[in-house]
Amino acid sequence: MIKIYRDHDDYVLQNLNRIIRVQGFSLDALFQANNPVDYLTPFFEATESEPLEQNSAPGEYPWLAPIENQEIWAAGVTYMRSKSARMEESEQSGGDHFYNLVYEAERPELFFKSTGSRARGHLAPVRIRKDSAWNVPEPELTLAINSAGHIFGYTIGNDMSSRSIEGENPLYLPQAKIYRGSCAIGPCLTVGNVLSPQTKISILISRLSEVVFQGDTSVSQLKRTLPELSAYLFRENEFPCGAYLMTGTGIVPDAGFTLHSGDRIQIQIEGLGVLENEVE
Ligand code: DO4
Ligand code: MG
């Protein structure tokens, strides 16, 4: 299992206890490679390890989002909890029926979420919209899919969302989902691990050092398979530099909860690390 962290000037690769800072590495090239391990191995052969003590706490370093020219897309209503929360928030507008339909339908909900230049990394601020009264983070297992459509890695995603805008009318979804600071991924891209269905996804939100929300789920609660989601994304489309696909949220706080400026959001996925962002 290899973890790829993005720094301002270059990349840091970690394979167990070996940490190397590499030159000439490109995520676009990795996403275009037939076999990602073949692309990564020569960097470990050609580069001296950095002393571990300098990098012993990768979780405390503000890594950039591990992305170059990949688009970030997202799947929705892939967990029962997302379906029920969406139906509740859109009942008044009459939009609830559509969430029920898409949960049962063969075709999943897929939407565009972000470009690399807009994506925030680990410890960078995320935002809530000023014209939105009800806002939540969405902790999501995020797939790295190469240009040939194969899933070869994983990262952690936060699909920041306005529930008030989305609930008002399902056609407002792009405004609820795509705005400045609405997307974070990281802290690294993990390649070469086998993800068990029991993999736990958890979130903790703290405000002035008090925990105001926590929840967890597991990948086994996902209604659809990961290859099914990625196949739908690549159907009749092409991604020359590959893509990231957020796989939907299985954790939604109850209706009384909204994010505040200053809240700290920590999302943990077993084997992938912790993605932490403060709300600006
Ligand atoms: O349909 C609305 C968005 C769903 C979503 O983002 C999710 O289920 O994670
Ligand atoms: Mg989502």
Selection from 257, 250, 199 nearest residue 80 by Cα: 250
State the pLDDT at residue 17. 82
CA nearest ligand 1 atom 9, residue = 248
Cα 193 to averaged position of ligand 1 atoms, centre (Å): 26
What pTM value is reported for the model? 0.97
* Burial degree of 46 (CB within 10 A; 0-12, 13-18, 19+): exposed
Omega of the bond prior to 187 within 30 degrees of 0, cis? yes
Residue extents of the structural domains in the chain: 2-60, 71-278
Cα 25 to averaged position of ligand 2 atoms, centre (Å): 30
Rounded CA separation 172/259 (Å):
20
Q: Is the CB of 74 under 6 A from ligand 1?
A: yes
Q: 3-state class of 196 per DSSP? A: coil
CATH number given to 71-278: 3.90.850.10
Rounded CA separation 192/139 (Å):
22
Which letter does DSSP use for residue 65 in this model? P
* 166 Cα nearest atom in ligand 1: 2
State the pLDDT at residue 9. 75
Rounded CA separation 3/234 (Å):
25
State the pLDDT at residue 51. 58
Rounded CA separation 5/10 (Å):
9
Per-residue model confidence as pLDDT tens for the chain (280 residues): 999 999 987 899 999 888 999 989 999 999 999 999 999 999 999 877 765 455 556 778 999 999 999 999 999 999 999 999 999 999 999 989 999 999 999 999 999 999 999 999 999 999 999 999 999 999 999 999 999 999 999 999 999 999 999 999 999 999 999 999 999 999 999 999 889 999 999 999 999 999 999 999 999 999 999 999 999 999 999 999 999 999 999 999 999 999 999 999 999 999 999 999 999 9
State the pLDDT at residue 264. 98
For residue 80, give the amino acid letter: M
Cα 128 to averaged position of ligand 2 atoms, centre (Å): 15
Contact 64, 121 (CB under 8 A): yes
Rounded CA separation 204/215 (Å):
7
Selection from 217, 154, 220 nearest residue 185 by Cα: 154
State the pLDDT at residue 46. 86
Q: 76 in the Ramachandran plot: left (φ > 0), alpha (ψ -120 to 50) or beta?
A: beta
